[in-house]
Amino acid sequence: MGSDLSADSDEDPPTVLKVHKWWNELSLSYQFRFDNMLLRLRSCLIDCRDDYLLTANSPVTDKYLLPVLRFANRDIFDGESDLGPLELREVAMTNVIGEAFILGFHIHDKTRSWDPNPKFTPLIAKPPMNKRALIAGIFLSFELEKSGIIHRDDLTSDSYPIMIPSGNGIGVIISELKRLCNATGATYGFLTDEVTSVVYDNSTPQPLERVILQVVDPTDISVRMMMSILLWVEANRFGIHATSISPRPSPYQGALWQQWLKVPSSGKMEELVLYTRAISPKRGILKRTFSEFDIYTLQRCPGAWDGFVEWKLAVEAEAKASPLKVGDTLKVHWDAIEKRYMLWRAEPDAYYHEIPEESARIALRYTRPKDRSLQAWAAKVKPGELCFKIEEVRSAGSGQFSQVFFGRLCGKGPMLCLKLFDERYFPFPGDPRDKDGPKVKFETTHASELLMNLHFAVDMIRREESVYDRLKDFQGSFIPHCYGFHTFTLPGDTWTFPGILMEVIEGPEFADCDPRGWTMEEQRDFVTHVRHCERVFKFAEIEQTDWNEGQLLCPVDSSGQRHAVFIDFAFANQRLGEHRGKPPTDDAVLLKVLLLDSAINPHVVDECWFPLVDEER
């Protein structure tokens, strides 16, 4: 139903319009962020299945307005908001040859919905959302063989403002768009003849003669895209968006344990935060894992944090005084991670895509056998009798998130690799010994953003476990065979930490390789294998956040072929379904950069690193 907004204004229209250029280049500054949102919703874009029915002569409502409306109501605006879905209204126009429209909300309560002929509140009166439009616009009609009605040269110049008579040509159209926006309270005006588009900024009241515009080429930013960007900007401005580009982690929830106590130094009564001690002068070290500290309290109480730092320095000193060595035996609590903790799983949803068959085949090109009897045997060993005997210390010491050992279960069977998350050696923010490390600033940082670099072993082991579960069909190819996620008690029975048992990969790290000695064909084969493995990671919704040359092993199989094996997923982000869509990532690009920075021929990398598809971004 059309709305009549043709009532005359009390003010006389200006004879000349002063056109100013939009200072912030809306189409450029917002397009990038909006594109990121579309990537996040990569499998749920505007439904265009019926586009084949459209022709150049189809109504603009079918070509542009309804697809944008469907997309905005589904993916831009929050369905839980008090505001109802976005609605489209056609507007009767008298001064312009074309079709005008308004896009605005109604309230869920039907008694408060839009009237058939709504009385809009002008923008200057700060109207409620159900009394204003978000976009008001005009589609101009013209004969298809002509080049359009809007001429870029009329609205662009090397110097501004541009003076345009308001009584004829483009001046009449711009004046009508300005009047329509003011009458409906619309923040933005949109004008197009399908050859050239114009965006009008009505976000702040302007003098009658002042017009702020930006000319947009629909071949650069389509009509649908430009209108969607404007709606998305409005949704973010009013906090009614359904999908944020980069959702922040939810802050920890909790409450501080506080009581009114006398302060020893002053004798005054103050409400102080209570927390349990980690070190006692008489009983020594009282806590054995990071998880025994309350992170909510650590983020908000400097005294509690100081207690953690004191404890961390003390336990690290103890660990250094008695490091694990060859011959030491660790008690193994088989499958303890699965038994004690909730594992991270995500059910396939609308954003999940099957791994491409070609990439899966190439990723599985090199496989290694697995000892199938090992896990079955270990699971049957009586509790307390299963152990891991260290035969080689591969990587150990302070400043590392994992300690790596080679050894055997009960001193027999195949050689295994143990990756142990010993929190005593973990780096941590605010380390007084590390002048260049991350700082902890209670005075200037919001509590929920403090200690973002404090990593817990239980989280790291669950990330690893989740990756190996998602890629269980690829174990023994481009990732190692995994023999479970367990906890290990150190000699003395005082410390227990989580760890993963894996096959031992016989091959150098990529950092220790010299690709200059490889033939061009060997380089192509290696880069192609890495590229398809990365595609498998991305389709499995795994984002490796810290690519480095030590995470890529380069074993050679029995036929002399070199291939890639990826390790170390303790910091690999994975989508669990807690947010709509999948945030855009750049780890695939960083992996390519890692190859380019090596001695591999850059032409080979460019040749074999085929373009990313949306699911990989």
Both 427 and 550 in one domain: the answer is: no
Mean pLDDT of 9-35: 68
Residues 354, 375 within the same domain:
yes
Range in 55-69, 117-131, 136-150, 398-412 the model is least confident about: 117-131
Kindly list the distances between the CA atom of residue 327 and the CA atoms of 388, 392, 409, in Å, as whole numbers in the listed order. 10, 9, 12
Q: Is 197 among the domain residues? A: yes
Residue 63 — pLDDT band, cuts 50, 70, 90? confident
Within 13 A of 314's CA, how many CA atoms are on the CB side? 16
What pLDDT is stored for residue 384 in this prediction?
Answer: 84
Q: Which helix (H) or strand (E) holds 603?
A: helix 602-608
- Please give the residue range of the domain that contains residue 572: 510-616
**Which of 243-247, 259-263, 315-319, 384-388 tops mean pLDDT?**
315-319
Lowest model confidence (mean pLDDT) among 120-124, 235-239, 519-523: 120-124
Distance CA 168, CA 146 (A): 19
Q: How confident is residue 111, by pLDDT bands cut at 50, 70 and 90?
A: very low
Give a yes or no: residue 23 inside a domain. yes
Confidence check: pLDDT of 277 > 80: yes
Question: What's the confidence (pLDDT) of residue 470?
Answer: 95
Q: Do 603 and 480 belong to one domain?
A: no
pLDDT of 386 reads 95
Residues 423-469 have pLDDT tens digits of 999 999 999 999 999 999 999 998 888 999 999 999 999 999 999 99
Same domain, residue pair 417 and 459: yes
SS (H, E, C) 323-375: CCCCCCEEEEECCHHHHHCCCCCCCCCCCCCCCCHHHHHHHCCCCCCCCHHHH
pLDDT computed for residue 70 by the predictor: 85
Residue 250 lies in a domain: no
The span from the CA of 276 to the CA of 473, in Å, is: 45
Q: How far is CA 26 from CA 11, 20, 34, 214, 311, in A?
A: 30, 14, 11, 8, 52
User: Model confidence at 114, in pLDDT bands (50, 70, 90)?
Assistant: very low
Q: Which amino acid is at 102?
A: I
3-class secondary structure, 235: helix
49 pLDDT higher than 60: no
- The whole-angstrom separation of Cα 30 and Cα 562 is 45
Q: Which of 220-224, 527-531, 596-600 has the highest mean pLDDT?
A: 527-531
| Lowest mean per-residue pLDDT among 80-84, 477-481, 485-489 | 80-84
Greater confidence, 32 or 433?
A: 433
With 80 as the cut, is the pLDDT of residue 289 above it? Answer: yes
CB atoms within 10 A of CB 474: 20
Bridge-based pairing of strands 403-409 and 329-333 is unpaired
Reduced to 3 DSSP states, what percent helix, strand and coil does the chain have, rounded to the nearest 5? Answer: 30, 20, 45
**Average per-residue pLDDT in the chain?**
83
> In this structure, are 191 and 306 located in the same domain?
no
Please report whether residue 549 resides in a domain.
Answer: yes
**Spatial CA neighbour of 336 closest among 494, 473, 461, 490:** 461
At 105 the pLDDT is 64
For the chain, the first-to-last Cα distance in angstroms comes to 43
Q: Are strands 188-192 and 133-140 parallel, antiparallel or unpaired?
A: parallel
Based on the domain organization, do 180 and 95 belong to the same domain? yes
Kindly state whether residues 462 and 592 are assigned to the same domain.
no
202-211, 491-500, 528-537 — which is least confidently predicted? 202-211
What is the structure's pLDDT at 84? 66
Q: Are residues 303 and 327 in the same domain?
A: no
Q: What is the 3-state secondary structure (H, E, C) of 391-411?
A: EEEEECCCCCCCEEEEEEECC
341 alpha-carbon distance from chain centroid: 25
Q: What percent of the chain has pLDDT over 70?
A: 82
pLDDT at 170: 86
Query: Strand pairing partners for 216?
Result: 197
Identify whether residues 499 and 514 lie together within a single domain.
no
Instruction: Confirm if 598 and 554 have CB atoms less than 8 A apart.
Output: no
Mean pLDDT on 159-187: 84
Q: Nearest Cα to 216, choosing from 20, 28, 56?
A: 28
- Mean pLDDT check: name the lowest of 33-47, 176-190, 320-334: 33-47
Residue 496 is predicted with a pLDDT of 97
User: Tens of pLDDT along 329-366?
Assistant: 999 999 999 999 999 988 777 667 899 999 999 999 99
Are residues 69 and 163 located together in one domain of the fold? yes
pLDDT of residue 421: 98
pLDDT digit string, tens, across residues 217-272: 888 888 888 888 888 888 877 777 766 555 455 667 777 888 877 777 778 878 78
CA separation for the pair 523, 528 (Å, rounded): 8
Q: Fill in the amino acid letter for 309.
A: V
Distance in angstroms (rounded) separating the CA atoms of residues 124 and 205? 6
Residue 248 domain-assigned?
no
Q: What pLDDT was estimated at residue 368?
A: 93
DSSP E strands: which ranges in 217-316?
258-262, 269-273, 279-280, 284-285
Question: What pLDDT score was predicted for residue 180?
Answer: 84
- Identify whether 242 is part of a domain: no
Min mean pLDDT across 89-103, 172-186, 311-325, 501-515 is at 89-103
- For the chain, the domain total comes to 4
The answer to whether residues 483 and 503 touch, using CB atoms and an 8 Å cutoff, is yes
Q: Examine the fold and report which residue of 465, 483, 503 is the final residue of a domain before the chain moves on.
A: 503
Q: Which of 76-90, 97-111, 219-233, 285-299 has the lowest mean pLDDT?
A: 97-111
Q: Can you give the pLDDT at residue 329? A: 97
User: What is the b/e burial string over 352-387, where b = at least 16 CB atoms within 10 angstroms of the residue's CB?
Assistant: bbebbeebbebbbebeeebeeebbeebeeeeeeebb
152 & 15 share domain: yes
pLDDT for residue 54 is more than 90 = no
Q: Give domain status of residue 100, yes or no.
A: yes
**Residues contacting 350, CB < 8 A, separation 6+:** 43, 44
Q: Do 164 and 298 have their domain in common? A: no
What is the percentage of the chain residues whose pLDDT exceeds 90? 42
